């Protein structure tokens, strides 16, 4: 078995443009480009569904960087929550000075 071929988004868009032009049959375009005819139709559907963009495989280029960013964000939000808890607990404490009308 051969390795799976990968095509760039530019190549796919060009193939779809040729197909959409309607000047030649899909089978002829597919032979010229060296791809199966049904793949041309699949790419055509993807272009239509995604507005000219081809979705990726879902893999992140740098998952470690994303994890680090999310950990920093979590630490920041956790700190903000703790600060708010302290402010609220002091604000609601009965009999504290500086709060008129509280016993």
Residue 48 pLDDT: 84
pLDDT of 65 reads 83
If you compute the radius of gyration of the chain from its CA atoms, what whole number of angstroms results? 29
Q: Quick check: pTM over 0.75? A: no
Spell out the domain ranges in the chain: 9-49, 61-94
The answer to whether residues 20 and 52 touch, using CB atoms and an 8 Å cutoff, is no
pLDDT band at 83 (very low <50, low <70, confident <90, very high): very high
Average pLDDT (23-33) is 94
Report the alpha-carbon distance of residue 57 to residue 38 in Å, rounded. 20
DSSP 8-class letter at 50: T
Q: Give residue-wise pLDDT tens across range 11-20.
A: 998 999 999 9
Q: Label residue 49 by pLDDT band (50, 70, 90).
A: confident
Mean pLDDT of the chain: 83
- Helix count and strand count (H, E) for the chain: 4, 0
Centroid of chain to Cα 53: 12
């Amino acid at each position: 078995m051969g390795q799976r071929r990968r095509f760039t988004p530019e190549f796919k868009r060009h193939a779809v443009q040729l197909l959409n032009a309607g000047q030649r049959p899909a089978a002829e375009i597919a032979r010229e480009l060296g791809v199966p005819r049904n793949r041309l139709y699949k790419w055509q559907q993807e272009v239509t569904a995604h507005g000219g963009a081809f979705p990726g495989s879902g893999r992140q280029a740098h998952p470690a960087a994303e994890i680090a960013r999310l950990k920093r964000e979590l630490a920041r939000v956790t700190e903000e929550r703790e600060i708010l808890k302290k402010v609220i607990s002091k604000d609601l404490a009965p009999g504290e000075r500086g709060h008129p009308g509280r016993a």
